[in-house]
A and B are shown apart, each in its own frame.
Chain A
């Protein structure tokens, strides 16, 4: 199967995701957690439409553009909004992206509602949940649930700017089915979940 990426012919296997073929940033995608199409950082242009590369399969003859003016400006805005609403200090990869896309979060003024003020939750001997740093990528929810463990101790609550991962009914983790495998910690891209042993 062949397709065209930014004017170049590219060979691909049947069923491949666009993300495997093109070089675009992503935040929510992870091979083990089956998280698809949430963060929108990996949007690419296919026949004039914007589609998430992590949730779109390559097809024969597809024409893909990954670096148009529209896409750059879109990613820049997304990153600026992430920086405005979230503490990205433990996400060096995202901070680099902000620089690369010339992001200037200040141009939007203040956000009316942000996660930045949330206090970390310490309710177990192993890791803390610091949702001020969470970007709602859902990787932790999927690692805990369908993706790896099948434990479902984490879930997404709230809508829009209030959306956030937490335990069912906000119970402390030891009161949930959590088995403290820490797979949620390993897949977290921003340090929102991190081992207590990393704290000094």
Chain B
């Protein structure tokens, strides 16, 4: 039976064959977006639902000093509801937070944020995309009035030049990576901007290797050069944008000479990249965490947006601005309102008209005050007294791990709802065992806005239940306690029907029946509408319909190398693993990549006397971890790279929680470290 892969945002369609309680083979059907192709995670990594670490029964305890007690679903849900109500009565809406998950379905995220807003009156709703593309969301929203890929994945076949920035595409979105590489074999050009020599850099026509955290300077310099050479699209800028004059003045200081000094990229290569991008009509930009996870992440994405507007690349086929979303349903989690400042469909909670629509739909009054963002919620403990955590593992994914653990220790009440035991489970008061993607119905929305079906292939093990059922049951108890209305649904399709009514301009035309064959992209207002492929062909979603240029300026990373910590640590992923490793390390993938390897440039290794394969310690101001050194020139001199998948050697013990002022994303990509030999 066909379903949607639960790993990255490409949203590959998979057909897992289950026999005798295990997956024996995974094939892919010949339909979009992957047309039969898969990567190692989708092909061989879908067996985590069979892991011995599955949470099988509801468990509760009064305090962290006690062991967990196995209880019935009724007892666990009653207990959870009663404690949430106590906090609500004592602290009000500010004292609670609900984290939906970008790994659960659209229906489940919708229901979780509805529980927070309609029952607990709080907008303290957020999810893990805070930690990945919140910078992109902020910059794109400010400029274009929308925050998703502007172009569909299929546009790769129409693109003549790819500008891929801070994206290790062949490892993090492998099917898209393979498509871009194939298009390059057909004659398209590929410009890669990345400090690391990734699979994309290897395939590039032109590879620029800036110092970590200097991309913004590079983009502003490209823009200035394009202006100077008269290569910009004057007609487009005049007709479709605003704020040009002010912005133009802001890039004055970003000369090629200065850019070479700051970024370390030769000026002629910056000029060549600028010229190629500006003069190729069908030029598309693709980016990921290398750009966003900085204290100036929003500003850096903004610089890229300005560059695309200057050259008239938005709203055109085979071009556009394309943030590659990392989680299977990170697009959907945002669309469904899993964010502190917006309701489903990105309607601002501060906007009275928007609230009115949902107040009518849900039969309640809504809190007009935007909630706290994920990083702020953890900082807000113990004023924030209760957190309902669905499918998230902040102990692994948040920066400065020891600090976060202390915060969780101080949190009076934590509900963990998940499929597998993880690093955060030991901090819980209530553990609610959830069904995996193989064991429930619903929809995920992939990176290019395609809503796709998730189908039940197996029964959940033990007493595990689908997230939507758990949220609904918890909501029922809260609604009773508060005397508020709460709709019950017999299956996910009923929730989806409510979503269609809630955001008709976006999802109105997308029915489960239509999704039987293949996914449909939003916006899709009517059932006979095919779904929009390229956004902003006519106008932008801003009040004036024009896109905004916004000036941004370069600032150095929050922490720069020093005598004591002379190297720069960059964190990220590897092909074989997924985020905190909870899924991939409980699958067959673990055998292929069992332990942390930290990439060290041969020159640094030689200076420090480190051999390839030797175990070393990576030390920052915040902590230390052990890792095997992989001596490779994939990483530049002065930079070490560590994936963050390994709970026993967590890279996020080293990272700092310096935040972007707008998106509140932490600067995972730059922290100062040293390497120590173990003697």
Q: Which residues of A contact B38 (CB under 8 A)?
A: 181-183, 186
Cβ–Cβ contact A148 & B44, under 8 A: no
- Give the number of A-B contacts (CB < 8 Å): 75
Given contacts A31-B30, A126-B592, contact A182 B36 (CB under 8 A): no
A144 to chain B, nearest CB (A): 10
Q: Which residues of B contact A195 (CB under 8 A)?
A: 24-26, 44
A6 at the interface (CB under 8 A from B): no
In the complex, A185 Cα to B37 Cα: how many Å? 11
Given contacts A32-B35, A179-B575, contact A150 B592 (CB under 8 A): no
In the complex, A105 Cα to B36 Cα: how many Å? 34
Cβ–Cβ contact A148 & B40, under 8 A: no
Chain A 170-200 residues near chain B, CB threshold 8 A = 174, 179-183, 185-186, 194-195, 197-198
Cβ–Cβ contact A179 & B185, under 8 A: no
Knowing that A179-B39, A186-B43, A197-B44 touch, tell me 20 more A-B residue pairs with CB under 8 angstroms: A124-B592, A146-B182, A146-B185, A148-B182, A149-B178, A180-B592, A181-B37, A181-B38, A181-B40, A181-B178, A182-B38, A182-B43, A185-B43, A186-B38, A195-B25, A195-B44, A197-B22, A197-B24, A197-B47, A197-B588
Chain B 128-148 residues near chain A, CB threshold 8 A = none
Given contacts A186-B27, A186-B28, contact A181 B181 (CB under 8 A): no
Given contacts A150-B203, A183-B38, A186-B36, contact A125 B24 (CB under 8 A): no
Instruction: Please report B residues at the A interface, Cβ cutoff 8 Å.
Output: 22-28, 30, 35-40, 43-44, 47, 170, 174, 178, 181-182, 185, 203, 575, 588, 591-592
Q: Which residues of A contact B43 (CB under 8 A)?
A: 126, 180-183, 185-186
Cβ–Cβ contact B44 & A126, under 8 A: yes
Q: Which residues of B contact A180 (CB under 8 A)?
A: 40, 43-44, 592
| CB closest residue in chain A, given B170 | A179
Q: Which residues of A contact B174 (CB under 8 A)?
A: 179, 181
In the complex, A183 Cα to B182 Cα: how many Å? 15
Cβ–Cβ contact A150 & B591, under 8 A: no
Instruction: Please report A residues at the B interface, Cβ cutoff 8 Å.
Output: 31-32, 124-127, 146, 148-150, 174, 179-183, 185-186, 194-195, 197-198
Q: Which residues of A contact B30 (CB under 8 A)?
A: 31-32
Of the candidates A31, A125, A194, A198, the one whose C-beta lies within 8 Å of that of B591 is: A125
Cβ–Cβ contact A197 & B40, under 8 A: no
Q: Which residues of B contact A179 (CB under 8 A)?
A: 39-40, 170, 174, 575
In the complex, A60 Cα to B28 Cα: how many Å? 36
Of the candidates A124, A181, A185, A198, the one whose C-beta lies within 8 Å of that of B39 is: A181
| CB closest residue in chain B, given A32 | B36
In the complex, A106 Cα to B47 Cα: how many Å? 44
| CB closest residue in chain B, given A180 | B40
B28 to chain A, nearest CB (A): 7
In the complex, A198 Cα to B23 Cα: how many Å? 9
Cβ–Cβ contact A150 & B25, under 8 A: no
Cβ–Cβ contact A197 & B178, under 8 A: no
Given contacts A150-B203, A179-B170, A180-B44, contact A126 B39 (CB under 8 A): no
Q: Which residues of A contact B170 (CB under 8 A)?
A: 179
Q: Could you write out 12 A-B pairs with CB less than 8 Å apart?
A: A125-B44, A125-B591, A126-B40, A126-B588, A146-B182, A148-B37, A150-B181, A150-B182, A174-B592, A182-B26, A182-B43, A186-B43
